[in-house]
Amino acid sequence: MRVLALGAFALVAAGSVFAEPRGFNVDDLVNLDRVADPRLSPDGRQVAFQLRETDYAANKGMQSLWLVPADGSTAPRRLTAKGATSVGPRWSRDGRSIYFLSPRSGSMQVWQLPLGGGEAMQVSDYPLDVGTFQLSPNGQQLAITFEVFNDCDTLECSKKRLDEVAAIKASGKVYDKLFIRHWDTWSDGRRSQLFVADLGADGRAEAAPAWVSKGIDGDVPSKPFGDESEYAWSPDGKTLAFAARIAGRSEAWSTNFDLFTAPADASAKPANLTDANDAWDGYPLYSHDGKTLYYLAMSRPTFEADRFQIKARDLASGATRDIAADWDRSAGPLQLSADGKTLYTSSDSDGEHPLFAIDARSGKVSDLTGAGNIAAFSIGANGYVFARDTLTSPVHLFARTAKNGGEKQLTKFNADKLAGITMGAPEFFEFKGWNGERVEGYVVKPWNYEAGKKYPIAFLVHGGPQGAFGNDWHYRWNPQTYAGAGFAVIAINFHGSTGYGQKFTDSISGDWGGKPLEDLKQGMAAAVAKYDWLDRDKACALGGSYGGYMMNWIAGNWTDGFDCLVSHASIFDNRFMGYSTEELWFDEWEMQGTPYEQPANYERHNPVNHVKDWKIPTLVVHGALDYRVPVEEGIALFTALQRRGIESKFLFFPDENHWILKPHNSVQWHNEVDAWLKAHLE
């Protein structure tokens, strides 16, 4: 059992002891400032970071850059204006300026801001938006990515073609291979590609960058969420390593990313280093002497939730060894200590997401941060800085230095916004789930908890399904919004969840409605038996994506379990999903074949086959731009509910994808869900 320590704002925020106590709500959630992307200066004395502030009236977030001393001696100060978008702060090699991305010139370009005073200078001025960038080790070049047409030789050619297509009156598009669309965007034939631009004496990028990844039919970085951690400079600045999946005609059912190296001047074609592995290789990192390439690798093709093993490749011989082979966790992108002896990464682990230090030679693993979710980190010459959030606190920056070894909090944003708010107290618990095996979950008390009273239950089911509900702060499925409305929360990390070993994660594949449902039932029973303030007679279940699938599965297979359901972006028909989702590798792994090869696997736990048994009132939510789980799944679900005469509503967002992101839409989502729960639990 873990009773979690409450964060800085968990009870009554400092300086607000006279504020009227209240619970946390969605208006609080969408208006919080969000700290991200901390970067230590070369001398380790300062931290640049990104802050998202909400302009609720304009229905958007505004990104700006800030600076704070790494010793926390003074408060953070703003570097860029609140209204002008500035993202991705990266230090110059001498630490005197910061490079960043901004669309302030009319398109997304690289800028440089001198810290000694003066205005930001536009470094790049290209006809296409810059996607990502990295400064070279000597500070004289930029690795930079653009979305281009691969048969165009110049950036200007790609821009001209885009303009020509935009001028065509006919709207039809012809495709002859997948992807035709991905996440929330339809394909227009462009690929994200890696270039290198020299910086002139004036610090500006040259007009015609070298096309380093030319000839690669794939995206560098990957879409839709890839970033510059998918490519890396060699220490001498002569080579770039990058990850790419060769598309061909199999892109939609392949996870075969390989690592390539290419000269920074594009004088030779990229060379494939990991062609022998048909699974995912990625996230390269050079050793300081340039002799070793560290990277992450999966071992099972087409399985996106396989364990990422840390590898070390001797670049002279090609010999590769595993690092921390017995560490049963999936590593994230790596960083290296100043002395080159220690690798740093973060990973899900027993409901937490700590920062880990791994000895590059022995593989010894040390947990550096313990409780909480490490959202980002930066390793410096004399210590490190990290962004941490918990179930009771949004992200704050913390620093540790080799000098004192202690932890120093650097930011205290949102103190005024959270004044007087009482957070619900969380607690992790364990129980015996499927087959008597250990399963973990947590409960959260309502903000106004009083001993001796019972409270209605919001039973949350996470998506993925290879994900986890952990000790973190979430902007879409935040338990505090339910606790703040007076509900108790139960969340179970059922078989298939991450952070409990790869065998536990693997166990859901081919068994979506089996072990997880058993764990959810046993978890509910265990929680109610352990915590006498949970009212089992008043409970609603909620979930999105796989969690939404589970709502639909519960509707026909746990028919007396809940007073209501909320099914967001959910899978209603497994077979239809197998043909209509964009990333086909996901369903084909989970169902152990294609719908035409293994139809029985898709039908085994298919919610559509149990509609006749439904009776639980259900709120259905879906976005039109959801191409992961197409909106037709939500429409079909609502149609089935209506045709059965079951109380139901359909909340439809024409401008949202798999997630609900816009501030006003998020408020509407939460208000509709809250009203649905209260209508059935009060």
For the annotated catalytic residues, the residue numbers are 545, 626, 658
DSSP class per residue in 128-162: S----EEE-TTSSEEEEEEEE-TT-SSHHHHHHHH
- Per the CB < 8 A criterion, the answer to whether 124 and 100 are in contact is no
CA distance 613 to 557: 8
CA distances from 201 to 139, 205, 236, 307, 498 (A): 12, 10, 20, 46, 49
In degrees, rounded to 5, the angle at the alpha carbon of residue 141 between the alpha carbons of residues 140 and 142 is 140
- Per the CB < 8 A criterion, the answer to whether 354 and 346 are in contact is yes
CA distance 567 to 634: 8
- Per the CB < 8 A criterion, the answer to whether 505 and 496 are in contact is yes
SS3 state at 607 = helix
Percentages of the chain per state (helix, strand, coil), in multiples of 5:
20, 30, 50
CA distance 97 to 123: 12
DSSP class per residue in 198-266: EB-TTSPBPSS-EETTTT--S-SS-TTT--GGGEEE-TTSSEEEEEEE--TTTGGG---EEEEEEETT-
CA distance 481 to 178: 39
DSSP 8-state assignment for residue 352? B
Q: Which helix (H) or strand (E) holds 384?
A: strand 383-390
Scanning 401-514, the segments in alpha helix (DSSP H) are 479-483, 502-506
Q: At what angle do helices 515-530 and 546-557 cross, to 10 degrees?
A: 80
